[in-house]
Structure 1
């Protein structure tokens, strides 16, 4: 597949550093260094998604036609909900790739896509992305993944862990935005309290008649965790007992979509297999 070049046009910034009182020259500068800080802080808080996860937006860098020296505008970013791209990072010491799934963003420009990325303290790609300036050119390959939505399915169960919500979120949005689709969706989302990705978005989507979800939040004192009105939360891990008891209500021929780390996906898959689910209707996404 061809490698395409995309320019980083937006990312969650690191928190701005607050100036000290001595940094101000008291000369009535406009803007003052403290005004600049307040503006940067507002922008940071607006762009912040969760404690450890960031949203990065990339835009295709238009290539010039070698013969006419004119920009080519024929390319559009074509991918199906749930598919992913590979980002290639080149540093002076190493080069490596990671997979990321474009998410649904309302009214996004045709040549842009946005991905949600968990930034690990010592991760190679995390270090690369943290220091990547706006307008930097990046190399992407894809799309990958052969899952295709069947809009005629009656019910779909979606089970996600952490950033594994990204492809499932795109699939959910594609179905809910299709006025001719009557598929009923049930999402079980397992996450830590500081990383409830798309929490507000899922809460808003719950007004659709054919979508419901349940958050399984671990490692938190539920008395201290701020909740929304009627927000569906269970303060524990999604265990095999809950899965077995509730999957019986779904029907063993209904499709199930899974996305998370390997251990999580293997555990869910094994539980579905024990419950006699049709393996042809079990889809593990990346």
Structure 2
């Protein structure tokens, strides 16, 4: 009888071990996969700009939208830079992403730029920079899974030009080194609107054509004044031309001089310094000199 007992015990142990090993695999098969953001589309329609967030799989469990003063990257604690006079935060819970660029510019009446924060704890956060705060509505669609945000544009816009570096022209020495693109801005602050759109940079399509925004480490502008034909631009950030013959000044000057009221452009650094603050001439801070 003794030789039989180990065989019986072994069979019992095998059965006992097999049950818990099967449970995790079964649970994995039954657990739903989290929705994955596969793309963001933005387009203008009569009276509103439409944002479409498309997901693979089911819709996100929770969608939160609200106007905020800034977007905080929860993974780093840093503020996410987004260009716009109003900032709409869109947050998805229990979702992942497979999308591309973290910051995209649009030439639309309302939506200027969309920037993504770092995904954190299955949350996706997007900042939507707008030309002006306006009413909006959010709704969901299926087949495929989509979250739609319609932002009204109840204001008139006029076209202006922004000038960006054309890398092909610059690399081959063909002047002018800049190429103009059209942007809609809200009057009467057209010069300020043009400068704001300049800092948003080129669209993805314009980047594909070789256009780039040279920031010279400027993070934005704190003030723009126009008086007696002289525009004074006060930049923020730690400016540096890095020895280049092309700087942000070469984009700002043609962008502002398109307006008949502006003949001269004086650019100041964050400390309020420029080389020629007086007289009928252009001026840049010493930090932007080659």
Q: Give me the TM-score of the superposition, normalised by structure 1.
A: 0.31
The structure whose residues are more often strand, as a share, is 2
Name the larger-Rg structure.
Answer: 2
